[in-house]
Structure 1
Amino acid sequence: MTRAIPPPTGYDRAVFDALLHARALDARALANLRFFGVQGALVPSDDAVAPATAAAIRGGWDAVVGAARRLRRAGLAGYAALGVHPRRIPLRGLEALLAELPEALGRPEVAALGAVGLAEGGDLEERVLQRQLELAKELRRPVLVHVPWRGRERLTRRVLAILKEAEVDPARVLVAGADARTVRAIVGCGHRAALSLSGAAGGAREAIDAAVKLVASLGPEGIVLGSDAGLSGGDLLALPRAADRLAKAGLGAAVIRRVCGGNATRLLGVEPSALLRRGPSARSGPPSSP
């Protein structure tokens, strides 16, 4: 059962989830998201593709775009991010895949390149990351970069160095996988730092507590909150729960709007409300109990 929380009213918030793995979400899950105030979401390419072949990655791109379309049909502003994830670099067909990426990024649902980054590090991962950053710079696309929890500080330092060398616009880079030890370095470089609300060890509650403390301490500049839900569990409602917790902690409406959506949508250059006014809208109503 999902613990009941009130729909987000009282400080004019509609949250945007910058880290939603929505490919497997059904209609009931999407209805819950909408009812509890999630206005839209970015659905990134991730490491769920198997096996790590060029054909499977192309299929993964189609699935991510399909998920963004399902969000839109459900009355949510769905956007996709496409790229070659560092854990899914194919042994064959990589050059052809990178050559096809510009066309894939041109689909109307696609708002960013990603998730890209480093998983273990090394020459191959770095070359693939650099190639995709060059493409993002050429196409003037925002970038979602992911850093794993294992080796987070070391890999974050290396990712930041590669981003600097690539000379991409720092304000158009969202670095996911940030935590209390790395968020200052990421924001200090001019990037946006995404804090996951699906904690690996303590679960969503602990992750939300940590995010609230960081926002209260550092302020909203450069910080993005995302559920990171949908791949291996996670709390689909973590973002509205975090918004509620931020309000109870005494943080103002402007701060909540920025970290729970505004910083992400500005980076992506999207306007969820405008998209929803243009597209089909599902009727709103209380969701059924999961």
Structure 2
Amino acid sequence: MNYIDPHIHMVSRTTDDYEALAAAGVKAIIEPAFWQGQPRTEVGTFKDYFSSLVGFERFRAAQFGIRHYCTIGLNSKEANNERLAEQVMDLLPLFATKEGVVAIGEIGYDDQTATEEKFLRLQLELAKEVGLPVLIHTPHRNKKRGTYRTMDVIEEHGISPHMCIIDHNNEETYREVLDRGYWCGFTIYPGTKMGNARMVDILQVAGAERVIVDSSADWGKSDVLAVPKTAKLAEERGIPQEHIELACYRNALTAYAQSGQFQESDWLNPLPVDQRNLFQGNSVLRGGQTPRVDEGSSEYLIQ
């Protein structure tokens, strides 16, 4: 079975993780812009970060047979620095229409402040302007209140639920999210958010319509193979194969294909991997390492 991990932060991971993803059948990934663990203090750091998502990280993934996409946005945690957030808002339109950008996100609430809501609303309007789906981060604290409030705000802005992926759901929130017509994301993250077994329990009860499984693997204790591992457990527990495919592949494809940037043919008919290729003079290899060169690869290329 093929998989998509539609929420994973590979800028925080190693090339070994890319190899593991490819070996497990993950064909495509989406990397949302997010908080990197330490607050950024200058707008230039955001510019460089966004550039890496649409540039080197896309290249790095391809060198291991993974198709990389991203979402662009100002995350809720950093939205509270209002002066800096205003400058970041000026950057976002420059990146939102670049190749491989499939949504505005991840955006939403953290502490659920008025300032966070201000920038949530501004980015919802940006999504409408550029015609992209929205990826929503739901808060870790007071999740139910924040999730419901987020959906209310989205509806105030006239954005259809089918254009929004509400992520980081749990047993407390998912029914309302589904009932209101949104794509319902679940993050399989060890010790918090949602475990593999809990996710399978939900699939048994709720089915897989508009359900999306992801890893949100990042710089913390997390698992890049959360999607295929959840699929395996679901199969062992008798979940119908078509439900597993929906939750771990097909629904993400349908939701993000609305961007016009996310097409199955991109990874089902990929270009051969050639690790001799460079990105701005840089390789994914180090001195003495043997490059992978698939049959049919192009000549040596400097990008």
TM-score > 0.5, shorter chain as reference: yes
| Shorter-chain TM band | 0.7 to 0.9
1:262-273 matched pairs, under 5 angstroms: 262-269=250-257, 270-273=262-265
Cα pair 1:197 1:208 within 8 Å, conserved: yes
The range that moved more, 244-253 or 76-85, is 244-253
Q: 1:159 to 1:52 in 2, by over 3 A?
A: farther
Cα deviation for residue 247 of structure 1 reads: 0.9
* 1:159 corresponding residue in structure 2: 150
Question: Judging changes above 3 Å, is the alpha-carbon distance between structure 1 residues 151 and 69 closer, same or farther for their aligned structure 2 residues?
Answer: farther
Percent same amino acid among aligned pairs? 23
Partner residue, 2:19: 31
Distance in 1 (CA, whole Å) between partners of 2:244 and 2:71 is 24
| Higher relative contact order, chain-length normalized (CA < 8 Å, sep 6+) | 1
User: Residue 174 in 1 paired to residue 165 in 2?
Assistant: yes
Cα 1:20–1:284 change in 2 (3 A) is farther
Residue 63 in structure 1 maps to residue 55 in structure 2 = no
- DSSP-derived class of the 1:174 partner: strand
* Cα deviation, residue 276, structure 1: 5.2
The amino acid across from 1:236 in the alignment is: V
The code of the aligned residue for 1:266 comes to: T
CA displacement at 1:138 relative to structure 2: 1.5
Q: Do the aligned partners of 2:190 and 2:221 also contact (CA within 8 Å) in 1?
A: no
Question: Aligned ranges for residues 170-249 of structure 1 at < 5 Å?
Answer: 170-201=161-192, 207-249=195-237
Q: Secondary structure at the match of 1:23?
A: helix
Q: Shift of residue 61 of structure 1?
A: 1.2
Asked whether the 8 Å contact 1:72–1:280 carries over to 2, the reply is no
1:51 equivalent in alignment to 2:40: yes
Decide whether the 8 Å contact of 2:188 with 2:227 is kept in 1.
Answer: yes
Per the alignment, residue 301 of structure 2 pairs with: none
For the 8 Å contact 2:78–2:85, the answer to whether it is kept is no
Give the C-alpha shift of residue 254 in structure 1.
1.3
Residue pair 1:197, 1:225 contacting (<8 A) in 2 also:
yes
Q: Which amino acid in structure 2 is aligned with residue 70 of structure 1?
A: R
Question: 1:76: which partner in 2?
Answer: 66
Query: Greater CA deviation, 53-62 or 213-222?
Result: 53-62
Instruction: Report deviation, 1:115.
Output: 0.6
**Residue number among 265, 273, 281 corresponding to 2:273 in the alignment:** 281
Gaps spanning 5+ residues in structure 1: where? 1-12, 286-290
Which runs of 5 or more structure 2 residues have no equivalent in the other structure? 275-291, 295-303
Aligned to 1:10: none
Tell me the alpha carbon deviations over residues 106-151 of structure 1, each in whole angstroms, 9 at most, x when there is no partner.
1112111111101011211111000100110111101111012211
- Paired with 2:268 and 2:64, the residues of 1 have a C-alpha distance of 10
Aligned length: 270
Q: Return the TM-score normalized by structure 1.
A: 0.87
SS across alignment from 2:83: coil
Letter in 1 for 2:51: D
Deviation string, structure 1 residues 175-218 (Cα, Å, up to 9, x no partner): 111001100111111111111111334x9xx7000000001110
2:238 is aligned to: 250
- The residue that corresponds to 1:87 in the other structure is 77
* Cα gap change, 1:119 to 1:72, in 2 (>3 Å): same
Q: What is aligned with 2:90?
A: 99
Separation (CA, whole Å) in 1 of partners of 2:272 and 2:71: 22
How far apart, in 2, do the equivalents of 1:52 and 1:194 lie?
30
Shift of 1:100: 2.5
Q: Offset of 1:54 from its aligned partner?
A: 2.1
Structure with bigger gyration radius: 2
Match of 2:2 in 1: 14
Q: Which residue of 1 aligns with 2:300?
A: none
